[in-house]
């Protein structure tokens, strides 16, 4: 109907979570941002040699090298068959398993959201997303 006003805010949420599914860091970015731009926005306050399991959208060798050398973090990206870097089959299986934990966490967070988030402006919408993430974090870390 033309009389109804509907707004869509194109945003993406970048989440850094533990292997138990507890979110440690998150940032909210415009929907047009790439995965690597989202990774650059995170503080990545992690212990040395921590492993970050990500999807294939983060397959950028320069970032992997930077995180390993400067930040002392290991970016675990699933490799394609024609990758320039070596693929170890056992490591690829482990990466796939860890990705399932990540996808489960994202699914659990999504279940907490209502089908429609009513907000009159972008700041209210972003605030509601942040509050849902905080509620999930508290529920997962302290209540369960």
Partnered with residue 15 across adjacent β-strands are 26
Give a yes or no: residue 24 inside a domain.
Answer: yes
Domain of residue 111: give its range: 11-118
Give a yes or no: residue 3 inside a domain.
Answer: no
Instruction: Give how many domains the chain has, as a whole number.
Output: 1
Give a yes or no: residue 54 inside a domain.
Answer: yes
Q: Is the pLDDT reported for residue 3 higher than 90? A: no
Q: How many CA atoms lie within 13 A of 57 on its CB side?
A: 11
Give a yes or no: residue 133 inside a domain.
Answer: no
Instruction: Provide the pLDDT for residue 118.
Output: 85
Q: What are 78-133's pLDDT values in tens digits?
A: 888 888 888 888 988 999 898 888 888 888 888 888 888 888 888 998 999 999 99
Q: What are 50-65's pLDDT values in tens digits?
A: 999 998 888 899 999 9
Give a yes or no: residue 143 inside a domain.
Answer: no
118-132 burial, b for 16+ CB within 10 Å, e for fewer? eeeeeeebeeebeeb
Give a yes or no: residue 50 inside a domain.
Answer: yes
Instruction: Provide the pLDDT for residue 21.
Output: 86
Give a yes or no: residue 88 inside a domain.
Answer: yes
Give a yes or no: residue 140 inside a domain.
Answer: no
């Amino acid at each position: 109907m033309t009389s109804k006003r509907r707004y869509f805010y194109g945003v993406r949420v970048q989440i850094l979570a533990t292997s138990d599914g507890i979110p440690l860091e998150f940032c909210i970015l415009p929907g047009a941002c790439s995965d690597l731009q989202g990774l650059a926005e995170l503080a990545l306050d992690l212990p040395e040699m921590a492993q970050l399991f990500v999807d294939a959208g983060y397959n950028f060798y320069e970032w992997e090298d930077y995180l390993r050398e400067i930040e002392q973090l290991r970016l675990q990206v699933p490799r394609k068959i024609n990758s320039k870097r070596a693929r170890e089959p056992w490591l690829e299986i482990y990466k796939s398993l860890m990705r399932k934990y990540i996808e489960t966490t994202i699914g659990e967070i999504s279940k907490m959201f209502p089908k429609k988030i009513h907000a009159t402006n972008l700041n209210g919408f972003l605030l509601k997303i942040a509050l849902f993430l905080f509620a999930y974090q508290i529920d997962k870390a302290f209540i369960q």
